[in-house]
Chains A and B, each alone.
Chain A
Amino acid sequence: MNGALPTTIIVAGLALAGYALLLTALNRRMGAILLGALGVLEILLLVLVGMIVARLIGGGHPADLAVLIGYLIGIPLIPVAAAFWGALERSRWGPAVAAVAGLVAAVLMVRLHQIWPVIHV
């Protein structure tokens, strides 16, 4: 599995976090662009989860399957949860929630690589 998608997710997550923190600094609330960016991040994560599942079905053996499956379930929830929780907020703290989601997505790519080194970054 080449590292293009996880690397894209890291870049996208960090860019999303940067934009969201800018909105927080400028005292803006969550808008359509940020929600759209969370949607793009969600799609990228779902594609990655699909690729990893395909690899598992194809006979891959991570050292710790239970942990990997936990991550595969948890990862797609992050942008969705941030979008709902952040959109409920009418202040600058909504984008701050989205920033956390972007940062967490980036960090989780590194964690996935540690759990199963065939997932390159």
Chain B
Amino acid sequence: MSEPKALPEPSATQPTSTRTGPGRLLVAIYGLFALAASSRAGVQIATKFHHAPVAYVLSAFAGVVYIIATVTLTAGSPTARRIAVVSCSVELVGVLAVGTWSVLDPASFPDATVWSDYGIGYGFVPLVLPVFGLLWLRYWAKRDKTGASAA
């Protein structure tokens, strides 16, 4: 009796670090947002800070959070992943808090931030990005655990 061919070892197709596989896409999008948010905030703070100080400071903060996520997801060491969990969590809380704040008190935001209205100006990518980031980090945390128990 012949059995169907065995599937290749999962390890052969599994991503080898947080920056490969789905992480490749995640790092690309985080890098894009790091560049977009921080350069936008830089120009705004340098040229017209008093127009919308709250929005610009929050944009700058978002830019820093995106830079940290990009760097830590690229590095992928256990320490980097712990930092990434914190920065993705801050990012999720940030987009929810700033989103809600901008809906309730639009007067504080004469100019938009990346996180205004839950990231509507960026196709809601800022809202889903931290969720995928945290899922990706959880996948790695689980892999660590099973790897450690097998060893």
The residues of A with any CB-CB pair to B shorter than 8 Å are 64, 66-67, 70, 74, 81-82, 85-86, 88-89, 91, 93-94, 96-97, 100, 104
Does A89 lie within 8 Å of B24, measured CB to CB? yes
The dominant DSSP class at the A interface is helix
Q: Give the CA-CA distance A86 to B24 in the complex, in Å.
A: 8
Q: Which 9 A-B pairs have the closest CB atoms?
A: A93-B24, A89-B24, A96-B25, A97-B28, A66-B43, A93-B25, A70-B39, A67-B43, A85-B28
Q: Which residue of B lies closest to A66 (CB)?
A: B43
Residues in chain A near residue B20, CB distance under 8 A: 89, 91, 93
Residues in chain A near residue B40, CB distance under 8 A: 67, 70
Q: Give the CA-CA distance A81 to B40 in the complex, in Å.
A: 19
With A66-B47, A67-B43, A100-B29: A74-B24 Cβ-Cβ less than 8 Å? no
Q: Which residue in B23, B32, B35, B43 is a CB contact (below 8 Å) of A100?
A: B32
Residues in chain B near residue A82, CB distance under 8 A: 28
Q: Give the CA-CA distance A86 to B32 in the complex, in Å.
A: 14
Is B21 close to A, CB under 8 A?
yes
Does B25 lie within 8 Å of A97, measured CB to CB? yes
Residues in chain A near residue B110, CB distance under 8 A: none
